[in-house]
Chains A and B, each alone.
Chain A
Amino acid sequence: MKLIFDKSVKGRRLTILPECDVERELLPEGERRAKKPLLPEMSETDISRHYTELCKQVHGVNDGFYPLGSCTMKYNPRINEEMAALPGFAGIHPLAPADAVKGCMEVLDTAASYLCEISGMDEMTFQPAAGAHGEFTGVMLIKQYHVSRGDTKRTKIIVPDSAHGTNPATAAMCGYEVVNIDSAPDGCVDLDALKAALGDDTAGLMLTNPNTVGIFDENILEITRLVHEAGGLCYYDGANLNAVMGVVRPGDMGFDCIHMNLHKTFSTPHGGGGPGAGAVGCKEFLKEFMPASALLSLMKGDAAEHIQVRSFMGNFLVVVRALTYLLMLGREGVPEASINAVLNANYLMQKIKGTFTPAFDRICMHEFVLDVADFKKATGLSALDVAKSLIDYGMHPPTMYFPLIVHEALMVEPTETESRETLDWAADVFRKLYQLGFDDPEYMHASPHGTPIGRPDEVRAARNPVLRWVPEG
């Protein structure tokens, strides 16, 4: 596809603004840029067609099955978008007086009350803009707690080796030494390894439960008890909350703080990589450490110092979407979503069995991991080859090579918004590909075949970075 810059025609333009109705003033000469930015010059037709062309080379949830493990690619209801676009939200200034923003505060308060109930927490902030940002906020709560008690010897955060990369990266950003502990053979926390890692230098534990292999850790109460006994706090990574909403609550499992991804669990769209929102909840004793906007605090006459992770109150319009979803689901719909997410994962895993092998052959939560190692040994085809082959059937591939503890991993998360028919179809595709791997491995190794491009040369991209368009000549 041509780049937007290659479609530019000098002198072409839209008529967006009226003539300036006051005396025109330029910045003083020494303050002006030397030349205008080389932006495209286009008509509205050009722009519309350019992006329509681009959107045809994208696979969204609305295009087809998207079982990207760990990302909870559930359907994004349109009503959410309609609500977020209301002028009564989109047109509200974050620094408008309190009387003028009562509705916005009601959105935040109502969403907070729902999420506190679902997570078993006492307080909620919406300032974090994404999941990793929520992790940063949560671990900063832990840090402030220890610092406030003068407990400065706590320099380590424990992270299981099955964790998302954001966990250790977050702990490091918060100035902690990361203690990686090996998982037990069943993918859960190895209690002996945990005990060995715990000590009076433990600041806390970051844990995803259900974990990244899709299993609920049955020792969860023991795990959080051990951490607390050592004087550490427990952080719940809410990446997999979609499995357990309304069934079991992180707060009841013994966690002290949590982030939830509104763009995963609460149906707000992923937008090609964002914006998300990472609501962070905590127990009462951590409340005083929650983030706040310095400017808003100043306006309110609140002199206390707070941490802050971004401007104002976070990705508000994402919260509007999540609230709309929560209002619709309510008391019965929230657990219904989770139960069906788990049902769909187990059903699909069951139907794939006998071909590709689940890494852990037991009842799973909302996602499961296939281990392609045996298939690779037999056919020479890797998890990557299987993933790329799925594309030709109109399916977005599962998450590849994660978690790291399964070497040829494909992590499948169907979500509750897929029908039985879709799951039956998906299982057929997996089964067909399994057979194809034996019949025609070459073909599979060269897949995908029906896409606008084949496999890109990533090594070349990294060695010889071309990161922007440059004009010819």
Chain B
Amino acid sequence: MGSYVPSTPAQRQEMLEAIGLREFMDLYRDVPQEVLLKDGLDLPAGMSELEAGKAVRAMAARNKIYDVILRGAGAYDHYIPSIVRYIPSKEEFLTAYTPYQAEISQGILQSIFEYQTMICELTGMDVSNASVYDGATAAAEASTMCVDRRRSVTLISGAAHPDTINTVRTYCFGAGRELKVVPVKDGRTDPDALKEMLTPDVSSFILQQPNFFGLLEDAEGLGALAHENGSMYVMSCNPIALGTMKTPRECGADIAVGEGQPLGLPIGFGGPYLGYMATTSKHMRKLPGRIVGATADDEGRTAYVLSLQAREQHIRREKASSNICSNEALCAMTASIYMAAMGPDGMEEVALQCHSKAAYLARELCTIDGVSLAYDGTFFHEFVTVMPKTDEVLAALDEAGILGGLPVEGGLLWCVTEKASRADLDRTVSIVKEVLGK
């Protein structure tokens, strides 16, 4: 069996005697006899490292690795620079915990401070927290931030990711608040419906930009409607799109949230990902989660600390704004390294390449008889096509090592990132053409 217990059996025996006990089970004398596990666990015998490695590798081998991934819908297959993979695996970063002891945690605290700055730069906001679990929970936490005594209803665009909508719904249900979903018209949030739904009890409106179908919403216009009603405006933005797209701040948002996975984190079958959250100075003290601040030590040296802790659960208990404790610190550091590696120009370049390549694939697919775009208007790097025989198309692509668009109501939702070459996209188009030509 495998073991990470360093003390030898002889040492363990001596230690037991030093405590004044005879049997190891004497350590458990407070446990009622009738509840002790008599026959041990019904588990397979343990393994050596070599065997465990083999077993887990065999599981990995049962998954299919695609050469080209043209599917997004909340998990985006971007190129991860080598340095971005390497640095977070340094054991100091990997094996530390929350930097409670500032004197021996300056490295982590500073890295969070830098992350907070980069998120502020990317979103145009004033203050960022140190991360929450993912984009969906970030939206849910944002909805909680906006609630007050008079306003308890949250509105969310029906064109947001279904997982985001359902997560926000769960948080609202938990707290006994109402969530209403704003209907979608032609692939976008219906402004007329939003207008009608903005009643005096609406605390916030949550918009995803680009939306689930990849389309750019009229973010400024919709936000203005929310503000006219005295409601807060929350935008959930793809951070790669923000390399070129108007920032939430420029669109008038009070809170910017989103899924940080595209910033250097592997798609990893769904996690760990990174929820980013930023807001304006005005709402700083309502922001949940850890926040790092700069201060000085007794000799005047710059020091970073976990700050504004009076908001948090370990101090405020049932009066805390959120129960969050552990977050996604290492993922946040990964995102910082990604943004440092790309720089301002690289962030714009990756955004433009995603957009250009998606536009190219959309254009080329639409040259095929029977294929068209489901919706008009500007999209970023995802778009929905309408075409016949989608099952056959996906199967043929699959055989060629290409993960095609996601079947959604109304067609296939495609995503193109900078990783796909023109040749990959041409190959995709010719396979679709061949299937539809049959």
Contact = CB atoms under 8 A, between A and B. Distances in A.
B295 A460 contact: yes
Nearest to A465: B293
Residue among A34, A101, A328 facing the most chain B CB atoms (10 A cut-off): A328
A457 B298 contact: yes
A90 B106 CA distance: 30
A104 B269 contact: yes
Contacts of B305: 456, 458, 461
B310 to A, nearest CB: 7
B290 A273 contact: yes
B245 A33 contact: yes
A117 to B, nearest CB: 6
Looking at A53, A178, A221, A273, the one whose CB has the most chain B CB atoms below 10 A away is A273
A437 interface: no
A220 B35 contact: yes
Interface in A323-358: 323-324, 326-337, 339-340, 342-344, 346-347, 350-351
Contacts of B88: 271
B2 A330 contact: yes
Contact of A274 (B7, B27, B329, B421): B329
A393 to B, nearest CB: 12
A469 B163 CA distance: 34
Closest 8 CB pairs of A and B: A330-B46, A88-B60, A328-B2, A312-B270, A271-B330, A273-B329, A103-B62, A60-B95
Interface stretch (B115-123, B192-200, B367-375): B115-123
A272 B71 contact: no
Contact of A100 (B63, B171, B247): B63
Nearest to A177: B318
A55 interface: yes
Contact of A47 (B24, B246, B322, B340): B340
Contacts of A472: none
A201 B12 CA distance: 48
Interface residues on B, range: 35 or more
Interface stretch (B126-134, B182-190, B224-232, B429-437): B126-134
B11 A316 contact: no
Contacts of B324: 130, 132-133
Contacts of A63: 92, 95
B30 A311 contact: no
B103 interface: yes
Contact of A76 (B94, B144, B323): B94
A244 B34 CA distance: 15
Interface string A73-89: 11111010111011111
Contacts of A318: 271-272
B348 interface: yes
Given A59-B105, A143-B174, A169-B317, A343 B96 contact: no
Given A316-B269, A330-B44, A331-B1, A172 B320 contact: yes
B27 A342 contact: yes
Interface residues of A, number: 205
B95 A270 contact: yes
Given A169-B313, A457-B295, 10 more contacts: A3-B114, A37-B344, A57-B107, A62-B92, A173-B323, A273-B97, A274-B327, A314-B270, A347-B19, A461-B295
Contacts of B102: 453, 455-456
Interface string A1-40: 1011100000011101100111111111011111011111
Contacts of A173: 144, 171, 174-175, 322-323
19 contacts: A21-B421, A33-B244, A38-B121, A51-B87, A100-B64, A106-B62, A107-B59, A169-B317, A173-B144, A247-B28, A269-B95, A273-B97, A273-B99, A275-B271, A298-B162, A307-B166, A328-B47, A350-B20, A420-B15
Nearest to A108: B269
Given A33-B247, A96-B71, A249-B37, A132 B110 contact: no
B107 A166 contact: no
B4 A93 contact: no
B245 A31 contact: yes
Contacts of B191: none
A273 B131 CA distance: 10
Contact of B103 (A100, A342, A448): A448
A351 to B, nearest CB: 8
Residue in A133, A291, A323 whose Cβ sees the most chain B Cβ within 10 Å: A133
Interface in B108-150: 108, 110-111, 113-114, 116-118, 120-122, 124, 126-128, 130-131, 133-137, 144
Given A27-B355, A39-B339, A143-B174, A467 B360 contact: no
B96 A315 contact: no
B245 A248 contact: no
B3 A310 contact: no
Nearest to B133: A129
Interface string B282-314: 001000001111111111011111011110111
Interface string A298-317: 11000000111111111111
Given A63-B92, A418-B6, A92 B269 contact: yes
Nearest to A295: B162
Given A22-B422, A468-B120, A166 B325 contact: yes
A248 B31 contact: yes
A208 B396 CA distance: 53
A371 interface: no
B254 interface: no
Given A173-B322, A334-B43, A42 B106 contact: no
A299 B134 contact: no
B353 A272 contact: no
- Give the interface centre of A169, A448, A466 by most chain B CB atoms within 10 Å: A169
A462 B329 CA distance: 21
Given A20-B352, A51-B90, A339-B24, A92 B267 contact: yes
Interface in A403-448: 416-420, 423, 448
Given A247-B31, A456-B297, A457-B297, A88 B270 contact: no
Contact of A311 (B103, B105, B135): B135
Contacts of B16: 343
A97 interface: yes
Contact of B37 (A246, A272, A310): A246
B134 A310 contact: yes
B347 interface: yes
B294 A466 contact: yes
B343 interface: yes
Contact of A417 (B4, B164, B310, B319): B4
Contacts of B178: none
Interface in A39-67: 39-42, 44, 47-48, 50-63, 66
Interface in B1-45: 1-7, 11-12, 14-16, 18-21, 24, 26-32, 34-37, 40-45
Contact of A58 (B85, B108, B162, B250): B108
Given A17-B418, A465-B308, A453 B343 contact: no
Contacts of A330: 1-2, 43-47
A311 B77 contact: no
A68 interface: yes
Contacts of A299: 406-407
A118 interface: yes
Contact of B49 (A30, A307, A328): A328
B392 to A, nearest CB: 14
Contact of A416 (B4, B53, B136, B319): B4
A173 B421 CA distance: 47
A410 B27 CA distance: 22
A94 interface: yes
Contact of B326 (A73, A82, A104, A263): A263
Interface string B44-72: 11111101110111111111111001010
A83 B53 contact: yes
Contacts of A133: 133, 137, 324
B63 A388 contact: no
Contacts of A32: 244-246
